[in-house]
């Protein structure tokens, strides 16, 4: 499984829905289990800055990670950015192999 980071920003028309954040998160989790049962959500954070939320999850491939991003749009995200997260130990090993 690959680790992904999903950054999301709430759309202007959905800012009022943030009051229902706990219910929206439960609904998102249910939909995620239904649509992408192979995905493991590791952590979620509210952010201060350019993005409003950060979700860390594991998925088998980029297509599945894209599905997670699309599902988040159903729950108020106006824009998202999905990044691949490489464990530091793996990255360090790769750098050493290149040297």
Contact 69, 80 (CB under 8 A): yes
pLDDT per residue as tens digits for the range 35-86: 999 999 999 999 999 999 999 999 999 999 999 999 988 877 678 999 999 9
Q: What does the domain layout of the chain look like in residue ranges?
A: 2-98
pLDDT band, residue 95 (cuts 50/70/90):
very high
Distance between CA atoms of residues 48 and 81, nearest Å:
16
With bands split at pLDDT 50, 70 and 90, how would you rate the model's confidence at 14?
Answer: low
Q: Is 75 exposed, middle or buried (0-12, 13-18, 19+ CB in 10 A)?
A: buried
pTM: 0.86
- Range 2-98 has CATH code 3.40.50.9100: no
């Amino acid at each position: 499984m690959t680790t992904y980071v999903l950054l999301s920003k709430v759309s202007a028309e959905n800012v009022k829905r943030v009051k229902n954040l706990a219910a929206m998160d439960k609904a998102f989790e249910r939909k995620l289990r239904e649509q992408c049962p192979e995905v493991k959500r590791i952590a979620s954070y509210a952010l201060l800055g350019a993005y409003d939320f950060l979700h860390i999850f594991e998925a088998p491939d980029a297509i599945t990670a894209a599905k997670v991003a699309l599902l988040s749009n159903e729950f108020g995200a106006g824009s998202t950015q999905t990044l691949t997260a490489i464990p530091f130990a793996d990255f360090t090993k790769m750098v050493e192999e290149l040297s």
